[in-house]
Structure 1
Amino acid sequence: MRDQITPRSKDMGTWNVKVLFTVMVLTLLPLGAQAQGQGSADIDVLATVLETLTVTAVNDLEFGDVVQGQSSTVSPEDAEAGSFFVNGEAGSEVDVTFSLPSVLEQTFDPSLTMDIDFSPTSARHNTSDDASAGTSFDPDTGATTSLDFANGELFVYIGGTIDPTPTQEPGNYEGTITLTIEYTGN
């Protein structure tokens, strides 16, 4: 038996199709609008790997023989000055910092100490091995400089002053000066 289509059921079918079409259009409309409102772009990811910094201790800071009660000074230009050689990426900017002792300890009895001081001009740096032509700086605050633009070299020199008291116990005294060099990223 065949279903009979009445005018009312025919209208309902058309109405269902119209509603379904409208719902589909409204559902898909935001997707189309969203796709048209988007954009994209690419960027490259870049990095420069710098040559490893090397720091080499060249000379110890040597005060030699000193007399009780008499201070002794070594300037960074003196042959007895401490010195370091630095090598890294040519032309790169670096921070130069020291870790400095405030006293030297007697090697036989470390409880016995002698004062050591560093002035604002106790250190120098230069891109050639010539302390006298170098730039003076305060080793307590450090410096920012550049490695040589041709070969990546830097030379750092340090002096200081020791102050043995009039009753300073005789013997050998020592301490450690540490130089740290870091790339600044500039």
Structure 2
Amino acid sequence: MRRGIRIVAVVAGLSAGIALVLLATDVLLWQRAMGSSDTRFASGSLANGLWKPDQLVPFGAAQALLGVDDDLAYRQAVRAFVLGRPRDQPFRSTELLGQRGQAQDLLQSIADSNSEPRRRAEAANLVGVLGFANAAIDQDQAYVYLSQSIVRFRQAILLDPGNDDAKYNLELALTRLEKTPRPSGQKQPRSSSGGARSGAGTGEPGSGY
């Protein structure tokens, strides 16, 4: 009986040891995948397999151990943003608008999350850029898109006062809004301090985007 217990204990110990080895291997695979995928993305790759290493241990154990959920969510959101081709104007297609909608949802989730302020600001700025891009291809809803973009650019500046891109984009959106016909009943966006242009460009502007 004791011999049987010992055998079970040995087998359990071996199984635990193997699981730890596999988990350590997964951690290494994740670390390598993050670095290599970042390099590929920076080089222009938008492949579906970015930041998705093969894993030996199920249930995302290595991912949870590394605590990379927020990093992955941000990377995937930025990838979706790039796939939305915000610079391609006035190009329009159902697929493109769908991609932009997906990117907006992902980025907006980050902007409104409990993540660190700078990352939230970057996400909010990109949400604003998508709205600005949509305003260029949908004149009927341009005022609405621009108004929503202004809200997001201001959010980005509040989260990170040093975000020069958001400041530049806010100035651009406000200027564009002044030249855009306002739908009946639509109010012009205002900041909490009153003026419609209050808070815009409160520093050296960046280049936008």
TM-score (norm 1): 0.24
Larger relative contact order (C-alpha < 8 A, sep ≥ 6)?
Answer: 1
Q: Report which of the two structures shows the higher radius of gyration computed on alpha carbons.
A: 1
TM-score (norm 2): 0.22
- Larger helix percent: 2
